[in-house]
Amino acid sequence: MKNRMDNMIHKAKVTFNKANAKMKEKIYTLTGTTAASVKEIADIIKNHPDIKVTKKDLLGLQFTFYEMELDGMYYYLEMKNSLILQVDVQTLNEKIIAYRSYRDKYSLQTPVKFTQLEKK
């Protein structure tokens, strides 16, 4: 039983690491750097040609939702006017980036550094 659990944990770690590496490569390809801020990631999502955009007017406030699935990665951005409320990047079940404006203390300009990604 312990071997089975260890095997499942190992597979989950491998899957997460692969997904994380894939996201790092995508960000590097799009930005040309091994780090990107939440704002830069949001801009990438917002300006991608394959993005699905939904606008809703709720209680007199305009919200815009951006969604896209690309190469096994799911991208989500939620904005109120020009304010970034939420940014998610994930694979099937693994979150790579999860930013929430109401709880995250760091600035939108704080870079998310991808130290394991090396320039080719």
pLDDT digits (tens, 9 = 90+) for 17-67: 565 556 556 655 655 555 678 888 888 899 988 899 999 998 899 999 999
pTM over 0.75: no
Domain ranges of the chain: 2-113
Could you count the other beta carbons within 10 Å of the beta carbon of residue 3?
A: 7
Kindly list the strands in the beta sheet with 52-58, ordered across the sheet, starting from the edge strand earlier in the chain: 52-58, 61-70, 73-80, 83-90, 95-100
pLDDT at 15 over 80: no
Are 31 and 44 in contact by the 8 Å Cβ rule? The answer is yes
